[in-house]
């Protein structure tokens, strides 16, 4: 999921970026979208055993298309029929095993490459990012040290399941996956017999062709983080200097796609040998057919890396798909900023989100150029890239062993405690060396603490702006402190608590659900809290019950 630009909000539940079209976005109430009148149907009997006309009559529906490999058919129902009645009719049909809406998904970023200094996610020296935020040195994926060990392999295939890839981008064109049977074959002929003609660099599930050219930019942005060509004295560098980037397009020029095309895209990537499936998109409800095609990718030995979502919500209690599918190869990624704090838009979940990665103001390749975007869309390719780098170094590992390694070697960050399974960010060096890192010294849960009592109104009022001053007295020589929120429940991205230090610098902006969590580290012994709410959706509010400190 992606966020584009400094002040952009998450747009949609497709592309998981905070700045783009089809990215998983921030919405006041999550709206599940589907293609009107279209349904995905899995038959009990094979499609090939019944004619299209007979099937149409038997289902009482017109047949839009079929996916014989998956024994699926896409049907259209009368426009006046409600979704519930259409599903009831289809599910009660003796030919039907599964029927569900055709859900819509959206896009929920030391070689000699001259723009490396702009890639804080790979080399954070405390520089200012494109959004004006000063980073914390060392909050990066430790890839510079990892490159002394491994820079990637031209044998490793990573599928970017997204809006496509710019095949002519100078940083991407040398690392494109090439289907040799088609490249050496006859134009206009399906030389490898996989059902797609001239799929030389990938597949377009929307058109059913091999032209997966990016007409949006999101897919190219993700591809650049994974594998922009390294050490070529041009532009940026990806986590992998060498890799095969397979373009698998199912999201259109607006960053939007549907379940039918997602099924085809994932099936294609799995069948054609991609080891890492990178998925920076989301939306829809639980889909049994999508669940099954991801399970099949697991059987084929792939990792399904998924963006957690950009709704600032807890995936433990509010599922976000495909991230929330309980399949053992699904590996879920949240986004952090250059200070090591969970991005205010990022979904989280200490049971369901595995790890975090850089996802705020990430600089990468777009259509013929470069740009900074934000979102869990941008965090996901960092993890996809590290998975590919590790696999290139240790090709004997299974997909589950790769996932386990990434989790065990994640770099702990205090700002991620109780936010993900690992409480840390991905580390390329730790993964390659199988190093379990020490605890984060900034983990405030290990500091001394005193009781405190500060709270908002519960529930809070609409259109409010309330300032609270917090000062820790009675303890001498305090260097830093942190506030513990026993309760924090606000409308994500709309009702916010901003923490300022004694000098008026912004320390953190908190929104959504932040229960059982410490704030970011606040220098000194005092802070000012400003809580602002809009005119709708008043929730439970917040309560501070202790203050941790160090001298």
pLDDT score for 48 = 61
Distance CA 325, CA 352 (A): 9
In the chain, the percentage of residues whose pLDDT exceeds 70 is: 93
Q: At 489, which helix (H) or strand (E)? A: strand 480-489
Of 295 and 33, the one with more pLDDT: 295
pLDDT score for 550 = 93
Which ranges of 272-358 does DSSP label H, i.e. alpha helix?
288-299
Reported pTM:
0.81
**For residues 250 and 216, is the Cβ–Cβ distance under 8 A?**
no
- Taking the CA atoms of residue 82, residue 88, residue 91 and residue 95 in that order, the dihedral angle to the nearest 10 degrees is -80
SS3 state at 456: coil
Q: Rounded mean pLDDT of the chain?
A: 90
CATH architecture of 116-433: 3-Layer(aba) Sandwich (3.40)
Q: DSSP assignment, residue 128?
A: B
Q: At 452, which helix (H) or strand (E)? A: strand 448-455
Residue spans in the chain of domains classed CATH 2.60.120.290: 444-550
Q: At 227, which helix (H) or strand (E)? A: helix 218-227
- CB proximity list for 377: less than 8 A, separation 6 or greater: 1, 2, 15, 16, 17, 18, 20, 23, 24, 107, 108, 109, 218, 221, 222, 280, 281, 307, 310, 359
Distance CA 142, CA 447 (A): 26
Distance CA 327, CA 266 (A): 14
pLDDT at 191 over 90: yes
Closest CA to 381 of 223, 218, 145, 163: 223
Residues that are catalytic: 162, 218, 377
Of 16-30, 351-365, 387-401, least confident by mean pLDDT is: 16-30
The CATH code for residues 444-550 is 2.60.120.290
Residue spans in the chain of domains classed CATH 3.40.50.200: 116-433
Q: Per-residue pLDDT tens for 99-143?
A: 999 999 988 635 677 788 889 888 888 877 777 778 888 888 999
């Amino acid at each position: 999921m992606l966020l584009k630009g400094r002040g952009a909000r998450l747009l949609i539940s497709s592309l998981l970026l905070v700045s783009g079209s089809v990215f998983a976005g921030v919405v006041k109430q999550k709206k599940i979208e589907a293609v009107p009148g279209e349904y995905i149907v899995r038959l009990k009997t094979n499609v090939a055993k019944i004619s299209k006309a007979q099937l149409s009559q038997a289902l009482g529906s017109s047949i839009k298309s079929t996916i014989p490999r998956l024994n699926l058919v896409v049907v259209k129902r009368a426009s006046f029929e409600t979704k519930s009645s259409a599903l009831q009719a289809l599910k009660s049909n003796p030919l039907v095993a599964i029927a569900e809406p055709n859900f819509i998904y959206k896009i929920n970023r030391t070689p000699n490459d001259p723009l490396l200094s702009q890639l804080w996610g790979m080399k954070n020296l405390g520089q200012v990012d494109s959004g004006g935020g000063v980073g914390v040195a060392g909050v990066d994926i430790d890839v510079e040290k990892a490159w002394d060990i491994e820079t990637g392999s031209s044998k490793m295939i990573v599928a970017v399941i997204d809006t496509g890839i710019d095949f002519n981008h100078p940083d991407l064109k040398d690392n494109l996956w090439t289907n040799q049977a088609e490249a050496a074959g006859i134009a206009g002929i399906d030389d490898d017999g996989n059902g797609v003609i001239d799929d030389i660099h990938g597949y377009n599930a929307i058109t059913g062709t091999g032209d997966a050219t990016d007409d949006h930019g999101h897919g190219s942005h993700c591809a650049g983080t994974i594998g922009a060509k390294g050490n070529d004295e041009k532009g940026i560098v990806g986590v992998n200097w060498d890799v095969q980037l397979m373009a698998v397009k199912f999201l259109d020029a607006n960053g939007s796609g549907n379940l039918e095309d997602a099924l085809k895209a994932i099936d294609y990537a799995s069948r054609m040998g991609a080891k890492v499936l990178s998925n920076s998109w989301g939306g829809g409800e639980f889909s049994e057919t999508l669940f099954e095609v991801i399970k099949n990718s697991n059987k084929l030995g792939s990792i399904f890396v998924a963006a957690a979502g950009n709704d600032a919500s807890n995936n433990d209690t509010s599922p976000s798909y495909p991230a929330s599918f309980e399949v053992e190869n699904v590996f879920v990624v949240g986004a952090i900023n250059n200070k090591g704090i969970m991005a205010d838009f990022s979904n989280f979940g200490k049971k369901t989100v595995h790890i975090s990665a850089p996802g705020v103001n990430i600089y990468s390749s777009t259509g013929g150029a470069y740009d900074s975007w934000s979102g869990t869309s941008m965090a996901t390719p960092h993890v996809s890239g590290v998975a590919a780098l590790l696999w290139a170094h240790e090709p004997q590992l299974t997909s589950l062993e790769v996932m386990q390694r990434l989790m065990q070697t994640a770099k702990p960050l205090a700002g991620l405690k109780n936010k993900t399974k690992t409480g840390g960010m991905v580390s390329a060096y730790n993964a390659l060396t199988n190093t379990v890192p020490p605890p984060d010294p900034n983990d405030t849960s290990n500091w001394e603490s005193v009781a405190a009592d500060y709270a908002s109104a519960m529930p809070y009022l609409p259109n409010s702006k309330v300032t609270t001053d917090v000062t820790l007295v009675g303890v001498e020589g305090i260097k830093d402190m942190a506030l513990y929120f026993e309760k924090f429940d606000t409308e994500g991205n709309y009702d916010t608590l901003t923490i300022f230090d004694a000098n008026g610098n912004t320390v953190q902006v908190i929104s959504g659900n932040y229960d059982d969590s410490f704030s970011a580290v606040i220098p000194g012994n005092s802070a000012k809290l400003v809580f602002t709410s809009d005119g709708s959706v008043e929730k439970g509010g917040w309560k501070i019950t202790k203050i941790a400190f160090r001298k």
